[in-house]
């Protein structure tokens, strides 16, 4: 059982917090979540007009940016889906760009306090955390895949490739998100080295390599539209090593 509990797919998929479910799974085996992931009726932000307008815009945009791309999604389309007038949109967000920034922050928070926090649980043995992270990524893509019919990949990776050459501030913001994630890996590796389960290495470089690998397999899985790629290639993340430069 890797994904232990309180793992809320709906939140990750830009949805208002539903009742929590307990998800169980065997490591690197298909999950059998209790959620009916084909039922989208309850998870669209627009369907729950009780949440405030700004949040509705934010979550709708997040889902659309994630499933498509920044340029491909128009403000009008976001407003329609969020059941908000365009004028209202510009009351809460000065521009599309600033919306994207807010989306990144929002997703980064959900990420950090969601399944990333769970995967990098200090109570878990360091190396198990790596498997956990792969597992979570896989499960997360399967869930999204079942809902949208296609793998959305990693929002940060998507935006990074799309926006890095167009907006340096957004690039830096995405880079900061990646750095935070890298640090989770680094702390884990440091601990593994300390307790002897791994030989001494350049933990920062290796952590960065692991993050790159994670993004890489998600990219490839998305291109194949097959989340199983993550399961298949993921465990090899533990073989990555960069020695200390002397």
Partner DNA sequence: TCCAATTTTGACCGACCGGTCATCTAAAGC
Partner DNA sequence: GCTTTAGATGACCGGTCGGTCAAAATTGGA
Cβ neighbours for 86, distance < 8 A, ≥ 6 positions apart: 75, 76, 79
Do the Cβ atoms of 221 and 118 come closer than 8 Å?
A: no
Cα separation, 198 vs 210, whole angstroms: 15
Per-residue binding letters, 36-55, with DNA (x by CB under 7 A): -----------------x--
Among residues 95, 121, 223, 244, the one that binds a second copy under rule CB under 8 A: 223
Of 45 and 152, nearer to a second copy (C-beta) is 152
Among residues 21, 55, 90, 162, the one that binds a second copy under rule CB under 8 A: 162
Q: How far is the CB of 167 from DNA (least distance, A)?
A: 12
Cβ neighbours for 38, distance < 8 A, ≥ 6 positions apart: 146, 147
Cβ neighbours for 133, distance < 8 A, ≥ 6 positions apart: 116, 119, 120, 214, 237
Q: How far is the CB of 51 from a second copy (least distance, A)?
A: 26
Cα separation, 236 vs 239, whole angstroms: 5
Interface ranges with a second copy (CB under 8 A): 67-69, 71-72, 148, 150-153, 157-158, 160-162, 164-166, 168, 171, 174-175, 178, 205-206, 208-209, 211-217, 219-220, 222-225, 229, 232-233, 235-236, 239-242
């Amino acid at each position: 059982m890797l994904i232990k509990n309180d793992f809320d797919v709906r939140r990750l998929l830009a949805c208002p917090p539903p009742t929590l479910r307990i998800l169980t799974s065997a490591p690197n085996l298909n999950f059998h979540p209790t959620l009916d992931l084909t039922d989208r009726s309850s998870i669209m932000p627009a369907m729950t007009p009780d949440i405030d307008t700004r949040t509705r815009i934010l979550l709708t945009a997040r889902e659309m940016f994630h499933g498509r791309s920044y340029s491909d999604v128009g403000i009008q389309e976001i407003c329609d889906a969020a059941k908000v007038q365009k004028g209202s949109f510009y009351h809460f967000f000065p521009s599309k760009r600033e919306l994207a920034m807010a989306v990144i922050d929002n997703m980064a928070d959900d990420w950090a306090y969601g399944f990333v926090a769970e995967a990098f649980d200090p109570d878990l043995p360091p190396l198990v955390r790596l498997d956990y992270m792969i597992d979570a990524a896989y499960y997360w893509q399967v869930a999204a895949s079942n809902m949208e019919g296609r793998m959305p990949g990693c929002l940060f990776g998507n935006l990074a490739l799309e926006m890095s050459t167009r907006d340096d501030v957004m690039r830096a913001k995405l880079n900061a998100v990646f750095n935070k994630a890298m640090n989770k890996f680094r702390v884990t590796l440091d601990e593994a080295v300390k307790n002897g389960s791994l030989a001494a290495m350049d933990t920062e470089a290796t952590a960065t390599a692991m993050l790159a690998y994670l993004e890489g397999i998600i990219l490839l899985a998305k291109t194949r539209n097959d989340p199983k790629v993550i399961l298949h290639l993921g465990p090899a993340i533990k073989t990555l090593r960069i020695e200390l430069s002397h």
